[in-house]
Structures are given as C-alpha cells and as structure tokens.
Structure 1
C-alpha cells in the first residue's frame, strides 16, 4: 500500500479504491436532479398512498390506537385495560378491564380519553367508548342446566 501511495505522490493523482466508480446524479437541463420513474421512492410513501387509495384510513388509525393504548391512557391503566374491538360504522372503541373498579374509573375518565385519542390519532376515528368489566366464568357443564340467579359481581 505504501508503494501505491508513493507512486501516486509522484504522478500527482490520487489512487482510486477498488470497486465501482461513484455515480453522479443525472441532472435536468436546468440543473435540478433528475428523479426518474425508475428511482426507488420511500416505502412509507407507497404505504401511505395505498392506505389513502383503498380508504383504509380509519382502520389503520384504529390499529395504531390498539398498539398505542398504554401510551394514551397511561402505563398503569394500560396494564389493567385492553382494547377488544373497534366498530368502524358506529366509530365505537370497545375496552375491557381487569376489574369492575377499573371499568368504573375508565367511565369517569371517558371524556379525557376521547380528547387524547382525537389529538393523537385523529378527530374522526373514535366517537364513543364502550367499557366492559371482566367476564364472569361459566358454570355450565353439559347440555342440561337450571336457570339460576346469575353470576353476580364477585369476580372483579
């Protein structure tokens, strides 16, 4: 390598590295870079264009809402609640909680949660929250059963 540097010093030209020559970007007549149709664009531009073209905006927003739920409501509440379903026609978000106490707290915070969702995700995505407590276990075993007084609220 030292010999090459010494030889380059004598000729006055720099030694070229192995590999392909660097390509110059093609320019138009006015000097602007030529963005050919063959040049690859960004993948995110393609995804955004397809979402808009197919009308998937609300569904995509609802999916991002499900993944960002702990950040929207807070880490502690996010551990005890989860998004179950999104009804696109009615713009309802169905949320299930670990206990009836968490469900009651969410109902009290409903307006604050809706404004946070409108700021972070979009104003026309969620219009209403449906909040449910935990599901009681089923005591039915087999095809025959007797109608009783119901499961009560002893599981949350």
Structure 2
C-alpha cells in the first residue's frame, strides 16, 4: 500500500511502504527539537553523539545492578576468606592445623614438651612422643585429650589418638647383629 505525503516543496509523492509513516507535527514542538538535534549531529566536523546507557557496571545474568549490595561489591577480607574456605571445604583442615599450632595450649605445657602431633587423617590423630614412658602416659591421657580436642574442633572430629614412641636407631644392621635377639630393650626411655 502506498501513501502520499507532502515533499519539502509542497508537492505530493508516493512513499515506500517499508518506511515508517511520518507523524504529523506535534503541538508541543518535541518533534522539531529532535529533528534539529539530528541535523546538528549530522553536520560535518561534529563528532557523533554517544548514547548514554545508564550505570557503568556490567550486568551479569541473574544479578541486578543498583543501590543494593551484591557479590561484586568490595568485601571485607574475613568474609571473602570465609566464603573461599567454605566453597573448597577446608574448614576441618584449617581447624586441625590450628590445633597443631596451639598444641601446648590444648594439652598443657608439660605434655606438649614431650609429644608433638604429626598428622591428622579421617578422625585419627598421630602423636609422636620423645620417650616410651611418655608414650605410655599419653595413652592413659588419650580419652581426656580426645574430649578436649573435640570441644575445640567440634564433636566427632577426633575419634582416635595413635601414640608413637620415639624414633630409635635400628639394631638389625651390622656385622654383629643376631637374629631373634632381645635387643636394647628400653635403653632410650
């Protein structure tokens, strides 16, 4: 369907049906102001006007921009580290390493002077003592130590304490070793 509209010189010409129809002159004058702005922008030597798109933040799917806080805002280091630790499941590992660092505070100065924690895996804490006498003593104290550690780490975190004696030299090597011999016994205790 072709429509006729007046040209600049007042003559009528057929317009293309794919072109949007030109609205009539509006009484408030906004159409004249817009056409004048377009004509000024199109004049040679004038840079094209940039269109403002609103806030400078990039929009991410599912996230709204605005005055409300969201994950992209600056965070306190403690909150950011807490979220990182929770996302990776490091809570128990960090608490156990904290126990290793505060071993003397948790078990007492005298016990800590003679035994040190070596490893923790699936509820089993391995502790090395510096003598066999302290290994025996720690085996007797193990239930109290487990209770104290679970108070600090959370119920059921430590289920077993494995007590190892001191690192001793082996007597099985050398020219004068005897098979099935009684060995040095408790020489280093």
TM-score of the two chains, using structure 1 as the length reference: 0.66
Contact conserved, 1:114 with 1:126, CA < 8 A, in 2? yes
CA distance in 1: counterparts of 2:104 and 2:171, whole angstroms: 33
2:167 matched to which residue of 1? 135
Structure 1, gaps ≥5 residues long: 1-32
1:76 matched to which residue of 2? 110
Q: 1:92 aligns with which of 115, 118, 124?
A: 124
Structure with greater proportional helix content? 1
Structure scoring higher RCO (CA < 8 A, sep ≥ 6) equals 1
Q: 2:138 aligns with which of 103, 106, 109?
A: 106
In our comparison, the structure showing a higher alpha carbon Rg is 2
Where 1:109 maps in the other structure, the secondary structure is: helix
- CA deviations 1:86-139 (Å, max 9, x no partner) are 122xx1000011111211111111111111111112213211000112121134
2:16 matched to which residue of 1? none
1:18 matched to which residue of 2? none
Where 2:119 maps in the other structure, the secondary structure is: strand
Cα gap change, 1:52 to 1:140, in 2 (>3 Å): same
CA distance in 2: counterparts of 1:48 and 1:93, whole angstroms: 25
Shift of 1:43: 1.5
Structure 2, gaps ≥5 residues long: 1-66
TM-score of the two chains, using structure 2 as the length reference: 0.56
Where 1:83 maps in the other structure, the secondary structure is: strand
Shift of 1:149: 3.4
2:182 matched to which residue of 1? 149
